[in-house]
Chains A and B, each alone.
Chain A
Amino acid sequence: MTELLTATAVTKNYGGIVALSRADFSARAGEVHALLGENGAGKSTFIQILAGAVRPNGGTVTLGGQPYRPRHPQDARDAGISPVFQELSLIPDLTVEQNIWFRREPLSFARTVRARALREATEALFARHQFPAIRPDQELRRLTLADRQLVEIAKALSADPKVLILDEATSALGPRETEWLLGLSQGLARAGTLVIYISHRLGEVRQIADRITVFRNGATVAAYDTKEVDDETIIADMLGRRMDRLYPERKPTATDRVAVRLRGFGAGHRLADIDLDLREGEVLGVAGMQGHGQRELFQALFGIGGARGTVEIWGKAKTIRGPRQALTGRDGLALVPEDRRNHGLLLSRSVRENLTLSVISRFTRFGLTDPKREAKLVDEMIAALKIKAGTPEQLAGTLSGGNQQKVIFGKMLLTEARILLLYDPTRGIDVGTKGEIFQLMRDLAAKGYAILFYSSDLAELVHVADRVAVLRNGRLGAVLEGEDNSERQILRAAMIERAA
């Protein structure tokens, strides 16, 4: 079979940061081709180049043997390349069907959109690909994230593309929709489409990809048939080293001093009767099935929504009224929120501004900021956390997911609060950065920070936390430590009623 799409020595710089450096890629019609790499490896930049959203600084791309140089997303679509972006390309105030056919609507003689033809085309498209049920007349902003992702996929498919690019398309989907999309990808490939599949989930890649290309630091490091390679090799190629240890060494550093003491703590109707101590130097894990009160616990501690019961912070009874009070000073609390893109960061602001937003008073005198002191703090934090940004003025939104998370950590550390609330801090982050974040958590604990740590990945709790508090139905099911701190025991406590 001949190659449909080839890219040779493609290069892209953003300011001082090299996103792609002489990357190569080659894929055939009729295959599912996985593109793997850590966050920041250049995958997103590469597909944005294919999609015409970004123009490379160098290198060549050919499509079907012809030079391919899209100057605009429309050129890519005209050439038969349809991307499904991780960052969705949909319009919140248009309906599902208006979104799918945006700029390609069937028009009447009066140049208006023919509503009935639009509906019929949408229903035919949904039927052809057996889409999960979505109402075509709903406004997009009313849809769940998963449904929006489906609309994005429908939009890409509506153009009958020769090349379909799926960028982390399953990360927002539930298990059934994921299964559907995997089947769909294979079906399309069988019918002659090239499906470029980007995912952090190796299991999915194994299931459907014929071949795999691995990017690292903006360059191509490996390409192989899926059948001929094992998971360890793939991970090693992604990281550039054998990953000997994802989890850091865990020395007990907890003291007897209690940072947060909860008695009869509760919030809303989801959380009640929590008696829990978080000690200085301790990483206290929180586990629970989705919706069993962990989100409420973190929010109530941070002052979002009301709380019941008593809270003692560093031995003093406190009423936490809102984020501002929770943040204040060395006795305060700092939170890494669940939705970092929307709640943790100002994406259109610089790394510097994001870092210092909550702590402007630390280098303000007489109401004026002192730029030198600010710059010093920012530089120290960027260096300490190894944040990969060209300059402190780079916009937060242009950083990779892992680096954005580091900025949030930096912002939190600058508040000088020594009680840290980490809500799923490694979600959607590559393995390398995960390792760095775990090491950072243990280092902070050793310095006397008290850390409350929720993760949806039980293995992380088992390996990083000193103790794990398991929530079930909004109550404390068990606190596990030592031998009992295992995935098995956590699941038992999370799912099964306590005997007696």
Chain B
Amino acid sequence: MTMTTIDRPKPASSHPAPDAQPRPAATAGLRAALIDRASLIIPCVMLVALLALYGTLREGVFTIDELNLDTAAAMTLILAATGQTIVLLRGGIDLSIGGMISLGTVLAATRFGTDPAQATAWAIGIVAIGGLVGALNGVLITVLRLQPFLVTLATWSILSGAAMIILPTDGGSLPAGWMRFGFANWLGLSSSVWLLILLLAFWFWFKRTRLGISIRATGSNERSALLSGVSPLRINVATYALSGLFAALAALYLTTQTGAGSPTIGKDYILPSVAAAVIGGISLFGGRGGLVGTIIGAYILTIIGNLVFVLEISSYWQPIVSGIILLVAVLASSIAEKSARRSLT
């Protein structure tokens, strides 16, 4: 197989980033165009470099099989980070996804049973709970005028406790058919890859809807957006409901991989979901970035894990390297942003 298969996120570099609207480079030249897209180009370069390194260390990195494997490994994070991306674009942050993921897995592991109809009903129920909890976050943030950080910290704690009550230790069971999801294959691509394609389709639709634009606009300049008729309650409810919904989806996906529920597993996704988004060029101040960047960020974090594994070094190196990558990505795009501002004045 060739480079083109594994470099699936790469087409993004030739596309305009979700945040970078088509901006002909005629006036400012190539340099300005590059600086403009730096926050997406930098993670692309990093991913390519990591893949190149990974490819020299192991056979068969540039194959569809590897793509299927890596996507399966990254998908829970990608789903969690999708919700986080929407919240970050709004200028907020959602820590409660940790609790929601835990709660989702324990509910699935204890309530699905063996009857497919019952499992389906509960799966839908879990997603609905995710949406409702998120909506509640949005209501609290708006009505009580509290910091998203504090509100979602509280709901995270509450949801984690609920998960503990339902299932105090890792365990439970899931229907055999449910766990076969990850092995499904169509046209050579695994179900995870198809899920990713579906997610991208959702994103390219969503970011062009009025809601998608309004969320980004509110994150870019809240006061201006409100003056233009955006309702703060509606925008916050929609934003955090989507985040909770994607956290629930992440939980369901995770159970297809692990085959069990865990009341503590969710916390492993809170900060990585933020890190994936930030590595992918999402601004913590809201308004800038897109899901393509986040997905690349999630792949970068996953490949780092793979590298640590093949290098046979202590797995404690993984968070260290992830942290360094995060710093480099943030630093690089901040430098690019500064020089963009300088070229303006």
* Partner-B contacts on A (CB < 8 A): 51, 53, 72-74, 77, 85, 88-95, 98, 102-103, 105, 107, 110-113, 137-139, 142
Complex contacts, A142 vs chain B, CB 8 Å: 23, 344
B19 and A93 contacting across the interface, CB-CB below 8 Å: yes
Q: Which of A88, A102, A137, A138 contacts B213 (CB 8 A)?
A: A102
> If A95-B21, A112-B208 touch, does A103 touch B226 (CB 8 Å cutoff)?
no
**Contacts known (A89-B228, A92-B287); A102 close to B217, Cβ less than 8 A:** yes
Chain B residue with the shortest CB-CB distance to A51: B227
The answer to whether B205 has its CB under 8 Å from any CB of chain A is yes
17 A-B contacts (beta carbon < 8 Å):
A53-B227, A73-B226, A88-B224, A90-B221, A91-B217, A91-B225, A91-B287, A92-B220, A92-B287, A93-B220, A102-B214, A103-B214, A105-B213, A111-B209, A111-B210, A112-B209, A139-B21
Smallest CB separation, A41 vs chain B (Å)? 22
Shortest Cβ distance from A107 into B: residue: B210
Contact A137 B217, beta carbon cutoff 8 Å:
no
Q: Please, which residues of chain B bring their CB within 8 A of the CB of A51? A: 227
Most buried by A among B22, B214, B223, B227: B227
Does B230 count as interface, using CB distance less than 8 angstroms?
A: yes
Contact B229 A72 (CB under 8 A): yes
For the complex formed, measure the closest distance between the CB of B327 and the CB atoms of chain A, giving whole angstroms. 24
Instruction: Let me know if B37 is at the binding interface, CB within 8 A.
Output: no
Minimum C-beta distance from B19 to chain A (A): 7
Check if B228 sits within 8 Å of A103, measured CB to CB. yes
Is the CB of B216 closer than 8 A to any CB of chain A? yes
On whether the beta carbons of A73 and B288 are closer than 8 Å, the reply is no
Q: Which residue of B lies closest to A48 (CB)?
A: B227
Report chain A residues within 8 Å CB of B230. Answer: 103
Query: Shortest CB–CB separation between residue A225 and chain B, in angstroms?
Result: 33
Contact B210 A103 (CB under 8 A): yes
Given contacts A51-B227, A89-B227, A94-B217, 9 further A-B contacts (CB under 8 A): A89-B228, A93-B221, A98-B213, A102-B228, A103-B229, A110-B205, A112-B208, A113-B210, A137-B22
How far apart are the CA atoms of A91 and B22 in the complex, in Å?
Answer: 17
A91 near B21 with CB under 8 A, answer no
Q: Which B residues between 280 and 303 are near A, CB-CB below 8 angstroms?
A: 287-288
B226 & A138 in contact (Cβ 8 Å cutoff): no
A53 to B227, CA, bound (A): 7
Per-residue contact bits, chain B 1-28, to A (CB 8 Å; 1 contact, 0 not): 0000000000000000001011110000
CA distance A90 to B21 in the complex (A): 16
Write out the residue numbers on chain A whose beta carbons fall within 8 Å of the beta carbon of B24.
137
Complex CA gap A322/B42 in Å reads: 33
Query: With a CB–CB cut-off of 8 A, which chain A residues contact B208?
Result: 112-113
How many whole Å from A163's CB to the nearest CB in chain B?
A: 16
| Most interface-central of A51, A95, A98, A112 (chain B CB within 10 A) | A112
- Give residues of chain B (93-139) contacting chain A, Cβ–Cβ below 8 Å: none
B227→A85 contact, CB < 8 A: yes
What does the 1/0 interface line of B224-256 toward A look like (CB < 8 Å)?
Answer: 111111110000000000000000000000000
CB-based closest 7 A-B pairs = A74-B229, A93-B220, A112-B208, A93-B287, A89-B227, A91-B217, A89-B224
Is the pair B213, A113 in contact by a Cβ cutoff of 8 Å? yes
Report the minimal beta-carbon distance from A212 to chain B, rounded to whole angstroms.
27
Give the docked Cα–Cα distance between A463 and B59 (Å): 82
Contact of B221 (CB < 8 Å), options: A85, A92, A110, A139: A92
A102 CB to closest chain B CB, in angstroms? 5
- In the assembled complex, the Cα of A98 lies from the Cα of B216 at a distance in Å of 12
Measured CB to CB, the closest approach of chain B to A449, in angstroms, equals: 32
Q: How far is the CA of A105 from the CA of B24 in the complex (A)?
A: 23
Say whether, besides A88-B224, A93-B287, A137 and B21 are in contact (CB < 8 Å): yes
Contacts of B226 in A (CB 8 A): 73
Q: Is the CB of A77 within 8 A of B210?
A: no
Interchain nearest-CB distance for B3 vs A (Å): 32
Closest chain A residue to B289, Cβ basis: A93
> Given the complex of chains A and B, what is the CA–CA distance between A138 and B224 in angstroms?
18
Which residues of chain B are near A91, meaning CB under 8 Å?
A: 217, 220-221, 224-225, 228, 287
Instruction: Determine which residue in B19, B205, B210, B216 has the highest number of CB atoms from chain A within 10 A of its CB, and name it.
Output: B210
B225 CB contacts on chain A under 8 angstroms: 91, 102
Instruction: From A51, A102, A138, name the one whose CB has the most chain B CB atoms within 10 angstroms.
Output: A102
The interface residues of chain A lying within 8 Å CB-to-CB of B22 are 137
B37 → A minimal CB distance (Å): 12
Nearest A-chain residue to B230, judged by Cβ: A103
A137 and B209 contact, CB distance less than 8 A: no
Residues A94 and B227 in contact in the complex (CB < 8 Å), given A110-B205, A139-B21, A142-B344: no
CB distance from B225 to the nearest CB of A (A): 6
A94 to B230, CA, bound (A): 15
**Interface hub of B205, B220, B231 (most chain A Cβ within 10 A):** B220
Smallest CB–CB gap between B205 and chain A, Å? Answer: 6
Enumerate chain A residues within 8 angstroms of B287, measured Cβ to Cβ: 91-93
Contact present for A105 and B210 (CB under 8 Å): yes
Quick one: closest B residue to A95, CB to CB? B21
- Please indicate the chain A residues that have their CB under 8 angstroms from the CB of B205 in the complex: 110, 112
- Cβ 8 A contact of B217, one of A53, A73, A93, A112: A93
Which of A53, A91, A94 has the most B CB atoms < 10 Å from its CB? A91
A93 touches B229 (CB 8 A): no
Smallest CB-CB separation from B27: which chain A residue? A135
**In the complex, A90→B22 CA distance in Å?**
19
- Tell me the minimal C-beta distance from B92 to chain A in angstroms: 16
| Known contacts A93-B217, A94-B220, A112-B205; A137 and B23 CB within 8 A of each other | yes
In the complex formed, the residue of B with least CB distance to A72 is: B229
Contacts of A138 in B (CB 8 A): 23
* Separation of A73 and B225 alpha carbons in the complex (Å): 10
Chain A residues near B229 (CB-CB < 8 A): 72-74, 77, 103
**Is B224's CB under 8 angstroms from A90's CB?**
yes
Q: Check B210–A94 contact: CB distance below 8 A.
A: no
